[in-house]
Amino acid sequence: MEILRYDLVILGSGLAGLRAGIQAALTSKGKIRIAVLSKIHAMRSHSVAAEGGIAGVLYPEVTGDSFDAHAYDTIKGSDFLADQDAVELFVKLAPEELRFLDHLGVPWSRTPDGRIAQRLFGGMSIPRTAFAADKTGFFIMSTLYDNILRFDNVDIYHDHMATSFLMENGVFKGFTVLDLKEGTLKVFLAKAAIIASGGAARIYGFTTVSYAVTGDGAAMAYRAGIPVKDMEFIQFHPTGVVPAGVLITEAARGEGGYLINKDGERFMARYAPQRMEVAPRDIVARAIIREIMEGRGFIHEESGLGYVYLDLRHLGEEKINTRLPFIRELAKKLVNVDPVYEPIPVRPTAHYTMGGIHTDTYGHVMFDAKNYVPNLWAAGEAAAVSIHGANRLGSNSLAECSVYGRLTGEAAAKYALEASSSMLELSSSLEEAVKREEKRIFDELFKTETNAEDPYQIRGELWRTMDTYVYVFRDEKGLMEAGRIIRDLKNKYKRIRVDDRSRKYNMNLREAIELGNMLDVAEIVIVSALARTESRGAHYRLDYPKRDDVNWLKHTLAYYTPEGPRLDYIPVRITRWKPEERKY
């Protein structure tokens, strides 16, 4: 077994991971060795798919924007579940990050006088979303990737999949990692680590995210005794193209697109008369589903999915070509619709995980409200800091990845610079843990039995269950049924077979490991959603349609037990903005 020792290991090479790597390299001035792990090629990390833009207050003197306005929009958007001290820190650092990215070379779209252009996004009171056409994630990722390659002390491990955290007496020590190219298990020991492994929306079938977004970081943390926070809050983006689920960016509505029902009405007038199509995502998603439920939507013949139309025709060909070229290309390719001439069929699609690994305001991972997990930080979609609370505003995620990549990269590098090399020893108890993991992967998952379960059938059933019972509207009966099915699937998972028997690039094996992670995460989402008997942000209970601040103005923490998640709660940190009714 190969053992690799690093001062700092970053799990994930999306926007959060690469930004953390660059900051750690700058902070340590070449004095620490840094590894960045990615289970796919680094440049295929999901951040490359981000379309619409990244939020930050850039030109307050010109636009009238302010940190307070960005903070208030974010907190109101979060349905008052965000920790307000974290939001205040975030909005102050976001513009610094946009300028940092500018200096690195991101090719922003610009105004005629050369400023970085900004557009309106849902729930924002002012246009503050900077963008590079509708391929913002791709351009930021390319820029970060080019820049991280400049540092000799950063090693990037593509196709290296972490399978478990190595913990000893509550202290984080490293990871077991499957080298997918060779099919061998390696051990990465680290003085410090940052989990930047992205979200978990692939627990749904109808989703905007790629097949790799399977909540591995959250699942590994949970199994290692670290709580995951607020997992009931899954964001459904209002405009997933039907029937694929692929994203049509909110920028399409930010640039002036309409949502229309079967009667040709701009129905958002009924739900958010002031903001209309650029209300926050939770509100727009519910409005679309209500229109469909009340018979004012369309039905897609092959899939049976209900949908409404996103109409961009009035924007004109020139604007669509300059501001939304990717959307035009995508609609043509996926549904044979040219948005210059026809509206696009859309419905809400699973998109983003508001919850994640529990951290403090600075991204340090925590066991509860007070106690830290030594040596461990988390950033980006994998973490729940919490800035987004119960509902994230569009374009705040990329900004969070950049801000928290920087904060955690700096903190972890400083810590690693001071830490002793004795931390990098593999004790006998850790060696035992590695052997158990080897057995789990190569014996148990590879085990062939007659009548063993097909992992792809289990995954299909997981997706159907989440799409049906844990979608935009939830209730006790549906969530109970979802919980029953997931427990059954977890039992079946113990007997799965991996058909491909080869060691090298075994995608069946990778997907089997991911399936185990997805089942754990799905169970946490369901149990947390069942317990929260109120409606807040993206979590809407038909049987408890009101927000209940008296009983539920608190964060959920889910802890692993062999019988299923145990829940605990910690208070929301409120600084300046008292909870109020959300009206848009």
Ligand X SMILES: Cc1cc2nc3c(=O)[nH]c(=O)nc-3n(C[C@H](O)[C@H](O)[C@H](O)COP(=O)(O)OP(=O)(O)OC[C@H]3O[C@@H](n4cnc5c(N)ncnc54)[C@H](O)[C@@H]3O)c2cc1C
- Contacting residues for 568 by C-beta, under 8 A, at least 6 apart: 227, 368, 556, 557, 559
Q: Dihedral, CA atoms, 81, 84, 88, 91, nearest 10 degrees?
A: 0
Min dist. Cβ of residue 38 to ligand X (A): 4
User: Toward ligand X, which CB reaches closer, 143 or 395?
Assistant: 395
Here the tokens at position 278 are: 């650029």
Min dist. Cβ of residue 49 to ligand X (A): 4
Please give the residue whose beta carbon sits closest to ligand X in the complex: 14
User: Toward ligand X, which CB reaches closer, 49 or 242?
Assistant: 49
Min dist. Cβ of residue 175 to ligand X (A): 8
User: Toward ligand X, which CB reaches closer, 76 or 547?
Assistant: 76
CA distance 95 to 553: 30
The amino acid at 309: Y
Binding site for ligand X (CB under 6 A): 11-17, 37-40, 45-47, 49-54, 136-137, 161-162, 196-199, 208-209, 212-213, 216-217, 247, 351-352, 380-382, 395-398, 401
User: Toward ligand X, which CB reaches closer, 165 or 469?
Assistant: 165
Min dist. Cβ of residue 552 to ligand X (A): 25
Min dist. Cβ of residue 193 to ligand X (A): 12
Could you tell me if 90 and 379 are in contact, meaning their C-beta atoms sit under 8 angstroms apart? no
Cβ atoms within 10 Å, residue 15:
32
CA distance 12 to 33: 16
Quote the longest CA-to-CA distance of the chain: 70
Min dist. Cβ of residue 404 to ligand X (A): 9
Residue indicated by tokens 């102050």 = 92
Here the tokens at position 441 are: 């992967």
Q: Which segments of 180-281 are extended strands (E)? A: 184-195, 228-229, 234-241, 258-260
CA distance 405 to 12: 11
Min dist. Cβ of residue 67 to ligand X (A): 18
User: Toward ligand X, which CB reaches closer, 236 or 258?
Assistant: 236
Among 481, 514, 516, 510, CA closest to 495: 516
User: Toward ligand X, which CB reaches closer, 323 or 351?
Assistant: 351
Min dist. Cβ of residue 1 to ligand X (A): 18
Cβ atoms within 10 Å, residue 542:
12
According to the 3-state scheme, what is the secondary structure of 432-481?
HHHHHHHHHHHHHHCCCCCCCECHHHHHHHHHHHHHHHCCCEECHHHHHH
Catalytic-labelled residue, pool 5, 253, 275, 388: 253
The answer to whether residue 237 is catalytic is yes
The amino acid at 14: G
Cβ burial 45-81 (10 Å sphere, 16+ → b, else e)? bbbbbbbbbbbbbbeeeeeebebebbbbbbbbbbbbb
Read off φ and ψ for residue 152, nearest 5 degrees. -70, -25
User: Toward ligand X, which CB reaches closer, 38 or 508?
Assistant: 38
User: Toward ligand X, which CB reaches closer, 120 or 530?
Assistant: 120
Min dist. Cβ of residue 10 to ligand X (A): 9
Min dist. Cβ of residue 571 to ligand X (A): 26
Residue indicated by tokens 């610079």 = 417
CA distance 235 to 315: 27
Residue indicated by tokens 């959250």 = 218
CA distance 199 to 270: 32
The answer to whether residue 70 is catalytic is no
Residue indicated by tokens 């859309």 = 346
User: Toward ligand X, which CB reaches closer, 44 or 490?
Assistant: 44
User: Toward ligand X, which CB reaches closer, 98 or 485?
Assistant: 98
**Residue 114: exposed, middle, or buried by beta-carbon count in 10 A (0-12, 13-18, 19+)?**
exposed
The amino acid at 580: E
Cα of 150 vs its chain's centroid, Å: 28
Among 130, 84, 76, CA closest to 107: 130
Catalytic-labelled residue, pool 70, 237, 474, 541: 237
Q: Which residues are catalytic?
A: 237, 253
